[in-house]
């Protein structure tokens, strides 16, 4: 009865518009207090401070605000904007080039900022008008920009990967390594799709040469803008994968590098640092409020035996690791366009993780599937967050129906990669496996 009340209160609070963190946290506190007062269970909430203390002393989570700050500095300094413009002009000289340029920029921004909403909005504001002016099909524009913006979910050093590693108790370094191959596969399928459009429907992605500069000048401009972020990404990601430093130290290196790049571009000032710091504080405040609320909910949920109820359900009706994984991926997918990935990670995944461990599922593989799944759900109509970020950026330039049509091919490509990783777990390459492969090659 108390378990139903816990879930019911959370659902009611969500329906009336209470933020997720407070809805789940409040339901946990209400039912937990009832248990302490009326059910002679005085210790149910006394474990909450200890759990939160353990979480906030987790050095891995310190990397999150540092990576967010790095991304905010790069965004506010205008480096990302100039990167988009220079690469778009270079690749625009070729059929479908602007679209491939957006994909490349999406890769660079994802690896340097890792903030999906900011990346989609930025490319929507800057790249979309350029592509419309070049007479690109609006559906194609929408799909390329929205899909490229979601690459921040899967390309290291993604914030979502850090959180998944912490929640599922896997190595951040291994999860970053495991995400490299699916990321390459995903970007490759995007590029192949655009090339296919150029071959079979060239009018949808025409060339738009920049007559004001020759190709060599455009290439030098693009290279000049791309090299600094690439060097920064190499330092940050390379130091993690190489085992030189931990993710937290690498994130600190990234912040220093972002400040240095801003200084070299003449954009570093107190106003930029203040604005980036304020936005980082707000963002992290939201994350940790979700973390507190989710822990309060899951503490009471497990105390009432909710985890046992869920496990018994799977054991009775879906007593198979394969069927469990199918249901788990479906649950994550549906939740992905209803609530934020932070809430999914801290509320739903701890429950699913316990069942996955019961079935002896490889947690690194499980974490990677969740990351790819969340990226797909972020793009899926009608509630995909990336769609609404893009619509807010482009305004009336592109209709919402055109965005819906445009993202469909890219959703299918992402589902293809998800299925490949699901069916072939050996594609999940840990840091040690990558080391063995590289030693064999070189």
What value does the mean pLDDT take over residues 313-321?
75
Q: Would you place residue 286 in the very low, low, confident or very high pLDDT band (cuts 50, 70, 90)?
A: confident
Rounded Cα gap, residues 286 and 21, in angstroms: 8
Tokens of 410: 């890219």
Q: Is the pLDDT of residue 312 over 80?
A: no
pLDDT at 78: 73
What value does the mean pLDDT take over residues 403-410?
90
Q: Per the domain annotation, does 14 fall within a domain?
A: no
Q: Would you place residue 130 in the very low, low, confident or very high pLDDT band (cuts 50, 70, 90)?
A: confident
Q: Per the domain annotation, does 404 fall within a domain?
A: yes
Query: Whole-number mean pLDDT of the chain?
Result: 81
Sign of CA dihedral 89, 95, 98, 101: negative
Rounded Cα gap, residues 148 and 187, in angstroms: 8
Q: Per the domain annotation, does 1 fall within a domain?
A: no
Q: Per the domain annotation, does 317 fall within a domain?
A: yes
Rounded Cα gap, residues 14 and 25, in angstroms: 11
Q: Per the domain annotation, does 340 fall within a domain?
A: yes
Chain segment 259-274, per-residue pLDDT in tens: 888 888 777 888 888 8
How many residues are recorded in the chain? 442
What value does the mean pLDDT take over residues 169-181?
89
Q: Are 403 and 146 in contact (CB under 8 A)?
A: yes
Q: Would you place residue 17 in the very low, low, confident or very high pLDDT band (cuts 50, 70, 90)?
A: confident
Q: Per the domain annotation, does 33 fall within a domain?
A: no
Helix, strand, coil fractions of the chain, as percent rounded to 5: 80, 0, 20
Q: Is the pLDDT of residue 150 over 80?
A: yes
Buried b (16+ CB within 10 A) or exposed e, 148-187: bbbbbbbbbbbbbbbbbbbbbebebbbbbbbbbbbbebbb
Rounded Cα gap, residues 442 and 52, in angstroms: 46
Which residue range(s) make up the domain with 260?
Answer: 59-441
- Report the alpha-carbon angle 189-379-365, nearest 5: 65
Tokens of 291: 């973390």
pTM score > 0.85 for this model?
no
Rounded Cα gap, residues 407 and 387, in angstroms: 8
Give the Å distances, CA to CA, from 256 to 66, 178, 220, 268, 276: 10, 27, 26, 12, 13
Q: Are 360 and 98 in contact (CB under 8 A)?
A: no
Q: Are 335 and 344 in contact (CB under 8 A)?
A: yes
Torsion angle of alpha carbons 159, 340, 421, 141, nearest 10°? -90
Rounded Cα gap, residues 68 and 165, in angstroms: 17
Percent of the chain with pLDDT over 70: 90
Rounded Cα gap, residues 211 and 182, in angstroms: 38
Q: How many structural domains compose the chain?
A: 1
Q: Per the domain annotation, does 43 fall within a domain?
A: no
Q: Per the domain annotation, does 45 fall within a domain?
A: no
Q: Are 289 and 256 in contact (CB under 8 A)?
A: no
């Amino acid at each position: 009865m108390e378990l139903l009340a816990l879930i019911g209160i959370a659902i009611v609070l969500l329906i009336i518009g209470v933020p997720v963190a407070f809805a789940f946290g409040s339901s946990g506190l209400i039912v937990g207090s009832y248990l302490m007062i009326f059910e002679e269970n005085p210790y149910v909430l006394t474990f909450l401070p200890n759990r939160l203390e353990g979480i906030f002393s987790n050095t891995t989570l310190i990397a999150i605000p540092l990576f967010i700050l790095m991304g905010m500095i790069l965004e506010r300094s205008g480096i990302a904007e100039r990167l988009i413009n220079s690469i778009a002009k270079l690749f625009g000289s070729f059929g479908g080039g602007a679209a491939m340029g957006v994909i490349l920029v999406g890769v660079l921004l994802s690896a340097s900022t890792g903030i999906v909403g900011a990346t989609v909005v930025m490319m929507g504001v800057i790249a979309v008008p350029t592509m419309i002016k070049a007479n690109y099909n609006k559906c194609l524009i929408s799909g390329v920009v929205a899909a490229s913006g979601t690459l921040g979910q899967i390309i290291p050093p993604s914030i979502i990967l850090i959180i998944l590693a912490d929640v599922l108790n896997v190595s951040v370094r291994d999860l970053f390594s495991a995400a490299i191959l699916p990321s390459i596969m995903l970007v490759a399928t995007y590029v192949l799709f655009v090339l296919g459009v150029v071959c079979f429907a060239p009018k949808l992605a025409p060339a738009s040469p920049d007559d004001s500069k020759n190709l060599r000048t455009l290439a030098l401009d693009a290279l000049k803008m791309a090299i600094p972020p690439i060097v920064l990404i190499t330092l940050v990601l390379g130091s993690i994968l190489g085992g030189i430093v931990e993710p937290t130290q690498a994130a600190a290196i990234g912040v220093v590098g972002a400040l240095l790049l801003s200084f070299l571009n003449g954009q570093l000032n107190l106003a930029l640092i203040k604005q980036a710091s304020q936005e980082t504080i707000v963002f992290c405040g939201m994350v940790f409020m979700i973390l507190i609320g989710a822990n309060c909910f899951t503490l009471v949920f497990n105390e009432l035996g909710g985890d046992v109820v869920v496990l018994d359900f799977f054991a009775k009706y879906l007593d198979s690791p394969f069927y469990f994984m199918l249901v788990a991926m479906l649950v994550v997918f549906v939740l992905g366009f209803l609530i934020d990935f932070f809430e999914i990670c801290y509320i739903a995944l701890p429950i699913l993780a316990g069942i996955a461990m019961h079935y002896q599922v490889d947690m690194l593989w499980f974490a990677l599937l969740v990351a790819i799944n969340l990226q797909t759900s972020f793009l899926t109509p009608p509630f995909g967050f990336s769609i609404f970020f893009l619509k807010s950026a482009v305004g009336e330039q592109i209709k919402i129906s055109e965005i819906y049509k445009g993202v469909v091919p890219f959703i299918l490509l992402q589902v293809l990669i998800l299925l490949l990783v699901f069916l072939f777990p050996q594609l999940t390459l840990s840091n040690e496996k990558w080391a063995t492969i590289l030693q064999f090659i070189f």
